[in-house]
A and B are shown apart, each in its own frame.
Chain A
C-alpha cells in the first residue's frame, strides 16, 4: 500500500511541475529551484513531514523532499548547536546526495563523450 501512495503522490507532484512547464513556460532550472524552496518552507512549517509520513518516497524523492531534508537538517542542527546550527544544518543535510552526484557525475563526464550517440 505504501508503494501505491508513493506512486500517486509522487506522480501528482510531477504533474504540478508539468503544469508549471506547460502553462507558465518556466525553465526546468526555475522549477527545480521553486520546488526546493517550497519544500524547505513547508518543511520549516512542519507540513511537509506529514506528507512524507503518509506517502514515503512519493514525497521524499521529488525535489520538494530535498527542500524538506534541508529544513529538517537545519532544525535538528539548531536543536543541537543553537545559532551555529543555522549555518551548518542545511549543507550537512544535503551532503550525502550532493557528494554522490558530484563524484559520479564527474566520473560519467570523464568516461562519456559529448554527442556520443547510443
Chain B
C-alpha cells in the first residue's frame, strides 16, 4: 500500500538544499529543457532535471552522490531556458558547496598540476578555486 502514500518526503538535507539555493524544487515539472540545453550534461551521471527529481522525491543523499554538480560550470543556460523560473545552477552550486564545506569533492587544489596551472588564465584559476576546489 505504500504506493498510495505521498512519495514527497521532506527531510533535513533536502530542506537545507532548498533553503540555501532558494529554489522551489516542486515548481519543476520535469520538461527537461535544462538538460537539453546544458553543455556539460554529456559528462554527468544524471542530467540536471533528474537531479531536481531526486530532490522532489526527498532523495537528498542520492542527489549529493551525483557527480553532476562537479560538471556544472554555472553558465546559466539552464536558468535562462527554464519555463518555470527554477535556477538549476543554484541547486548545483548548493550541492557542491555542501560537499566543499565537508572538505570533500574531486578537486583538491593542492593536487592540481602546478606546471599546467601556470599556463592558464588567472580568472579561470580564481573561479575554479572558488567554485569547485577545496
Please indicate whether A and B come from the same complex rather than being unrelated chains: no
